[in-house]
A = this chain, B = another copy of it.
Amino acid sequence: MTTRKSWQSIHDELRRRIVDGIWQPGDLIPAEEQLAAEFQCARATVNRALRGLADSGLLNRRRRVGSRVATEPSRYATLKIDIIRLEVEQRGAKYRHALTERAQVLAPERVQYRMNLNDDTELLYICNLHMADDRPIIYEERWLNPVVLHGIFDVDFSAISVNEWLVRNVMFTRGDISFCATNLTEREAQLFAADLGEAAFVIERTTWQDEQCITSVRLLHEPGFSMRTELI
């Protein structure tokens, strides 16, 4: 009967050795077999620990070669994409949204390109103002593809937000997201009761089901907004 070691404790110990510099960046660490012998456990348990370290970018692993401490440990920031309503309610504010625009139109060329569409597909164009305690926080501008979203033109988006309807009704297989900064236009400034030209944070998100684009959205945040997360 051998001592029972959890893969977590091995993970943590190996991580410590890397962080404390016992194993320097670039070093080849002992093979799974040897570590298993050291920790008195099965190789599979060491494997589980090493895989965790590789996932978080601390190790590079290659068959036949071994596990090497990453020379340039890549760090990742993981952002959780929530439904706006939940985000607002989680910080104890009252959520409300107002539909400001709704039209069946051809998308501008820039959007057609982003969504990989023909120039003859009419999209549902919807704009929404999201509010926390009646203060506008996000202006949402969205194009929806009726080819994928059957019956989308019949949905009453004053009752349920588009975001929420989508999350509940379709599942995307892939997506991309980009962040940038922009100067508020005259019209946008009015929405936020802000000044013309103020800097605002923008998220653009496009989601797909296999090769077909579902929707593309631009989320214009109120001036002063800051998005925070932990590094891993």
User: 0/1 per residue, A54-89, Cβ < 8 Å to B?
Assistant: 000000000000000000111111111111001000
Copies of the polypeptide in the assembly: 2
Whether A179 pairs with B176 at a CB distance below 8 angstroms is: no
A209: chain B residues within 8 A (beta carbon): 19
Q: Are A229 and B183 CB-contacts (below 8 A) given A80-B74, A81-B76, A171-B18?
A: no
A182: chain B residues within 8 A (beta carbon): 181, 199
Interface-side segment among A32-40, A105-113, A148-156, A200-208:
A200-208
Whether B79 pairs with A77 at a CB distance below 8 angstroms is: yes
Whether B226 pairs with A177 at a CB distance below 8 angstroms is: no
Answer whether residue A146 sits at the interface, using C-beta atoms and an 8 A cutoff. no
A221: chain B residues within 8 A (beta carbon): 181
Q: How far is the CA of A228 from the CA of B175 in the complex (A)?
A: 11
Q: How far is the CA of A76 from the CA of B227 in the complex (A)?
A: 14
Contact among B19, B168, B177, B229 for A171, CB-based, below 8 A: B19
Whether A75 pairs with B81 at a CB distance below 8 angstroms is: yes
Whether B80 pairs with A76 at a CB distance below 8 angstroms is: yes
Whether A200 pairs with B181 at a CB distance below 8 angstroms is: yes
Whether A180 pairs with B227 at a CB distance below 8 angstroms is: yes
Chain B residue nearest to A175 (CB atoms) is: B231
- Least CB distance from A225 to B in Å reads 7
Contact among B25, B75, B168, B225 for A168, CB-based, below 8 A: B25
Whether A167 pairs with B72 at a CB distance below 8 angstroms is: yes
Interface residues in chain A, defined as those with a beta carbon under 8 Å from any beta carbon in chain B: 18-19, 21, 25, 72-83, 86, 167-168, 171-183, 197-202, 205, 207, 209, 221, 223-231
What would be 8 A-B contacts, judged by CB atoms less than 8 Å apart? A74-B81, A77-B81, A78-B79, A178-B229, A180-B224, A181-B181, A182-B199, A207-B231
14 additional A-B residue pairs with CB within 8 Å, beyond A18-B171, A182-B199:
A19-B171, A19-B209, A25-B168, A75-B175, A76-B80, A77-B78, A172-B231, A175-B231, A177-B229, A179-B226, A180-B226, A180-B227, A181-B202, A205-B231
